[in-house]
Structure 1
Amino acid sequence: MFRSRRASLIQQLWRHRCVAPGLDESHGPLKPAAHALFKKLKDQELELLLQAVASKGAGESGCVWVEPRGSKLGLPASLLLCRLYRWPDLRHPHELKRLSFCKSAGAEGTIQCCNPHHLSRLTIPETPLPPYGKISPFAPHLKGPPSILDNNCRGWQDTTLSRRSLRDGYWCKLAYWEYRLRVGRLYPVHEDYVNVFFDLPASSGFCLGQLPSRNRCQAVQRTRAKIGQGLLLSREANGIWAYNRSDHPVFVCSPTLGAPPASSGPIVQKILPGYSIKVFDYERAGNLVPGWPGSNDGPYDTHAVRISFTKGWGPHYSRRFITSCPCWMEVLLNTPR
Structure 2
Amino acid sequence: MFRSRRARLVRRLWRQRCAAAGSDDGPSALKLAAHSLFKKLKDEELEVLAQAVESRGAWESGCVWAPRGLKQAAAPQLLLCRLYRWPDLRQPHELKSLCCCAGGRGDTATLCCNPHHFSRLAAPDTPPPPYSKSCWLDEPQHRNPQLLEFGYNSGDRRDTSLSRSTAKDGYWCKLAYWEHRTRVGRLYAVHEASVNIFGELPRGNGFCLGQLPAAHRSRAVRRVRGKIGRGLQLSREPGGVWVYNRGEHPIFVSSPTLGPPGALAVLKVLPGYSAKAFDYERMGGPGVRGLLGDGPCDPHSICISFAKGWGPCYSRQFITSCPCWLEVLLNRSC
Same fold (TM over 0.5): yes
* AA aligned opposite 1:206: F
Q: Aligned in 2, Cα 1:165/1:178: closer, same or farther, shift over 3 Å?
A: farther
Deviation at 1:104, TM superposition (A): 2.1
Provide the C-alpha distance between the structure 1 equivalents of 2:110 and 2:21, rounded to a whole number of angstroms: 33
CA 1:120 to 1:21, structure 2 compared with 1: closer, same or farther past 3 Å? Answer: closer
Kindly indicate whether the alpha-carbon contact (under 8 Å) linking 1:18 and 1:86 is maintained by their aligned counterparts in 2: no
RMSD: 2.7
Q: How does 1:89-108 map to 2 (within 5 A)?
A: 89-104=88-103, 107-108=106-107
8 Å CA contact 2:147–2:294 kept in 1: the answer is no
SS of residue in 2 equivalent to 1:34? helix
Instruction: Tell whether the 8 Å contact from 2:200 to 2:210 is kept in structure 1 after alignment.
Output: yes
Stretches of structure 1 that go unaligned for 5 or more consecutive residues are: 128-136
Counterpart residue identity of residue 324, structure 2:
C
Q: Pick closer, same or farther for the CA change 1:236–1:254 going to 2, 3 Å.
A: same
Is 1:292 the counterpart of 2:293? The answer is no
CA distance in 2, matches of 1:47, 1:23: 22
Residues 21, 85 of structure 2: 8 Å contact kept: no
Sequence identity percentage: 58
State the number of aligned residues. Answer: 315
CA apart distance, 1:20: 8.2
Q: 1:332 — aligned with what?
A: 329
Give the Å deviation of 1:295: 4.7
1:24-63 matches, cutoff 5 A: 24=24, 26-63=26-63
**Residue 117 of structure 1 aligns to which amino acid in structure 2?**
H
Equivalent residue number for residue 154 of structure 2: none
Aligned to 1:255: 256
Q: Is the 8 A contact 1:198 1:228 kept in 2?
A: yes
Q: Which runs of 5+ in 2 are unaligned?
A: 127-135, 152-158
Q: Quick check: 1:305 aligned with 2:306?
A: no
Q: SS at 2:225's partner residue?
A: helix
Match of 2:329, SS?
strand
Structure 1 SS opposite 2:123: coil
Q: Which amino acid aligns with 1:94?
A: H
Name the SS for the 1:164 alignment partner. Answer: coil
CA distance in structure 1 between the partners assigned to 2:225 and 2:47 by the alignment: 33
Equivalent-residue separation in structure 2 for 1:240 and 1:185 (angstroms): 22
Contact 2:53 2:84 in 1 (8 A): yes
Question: Letter of the aligned partner of 2:319 in structure 1?
Answer: I
The TM-score normalised by the length of structure 1 is 0.85
Q: Which 10-residue stretch deviates more, 159-168 or 116-125?
A: 159-168
Aligned to 1:131: none
How far apart are residue 186 of structure 1 and its match? 0.6
Output one character per residue of 1:73-112: Cα deviation in whole Å (capped at 9) or x when no partner.
Answer: x211100000000000000000000001112265552111
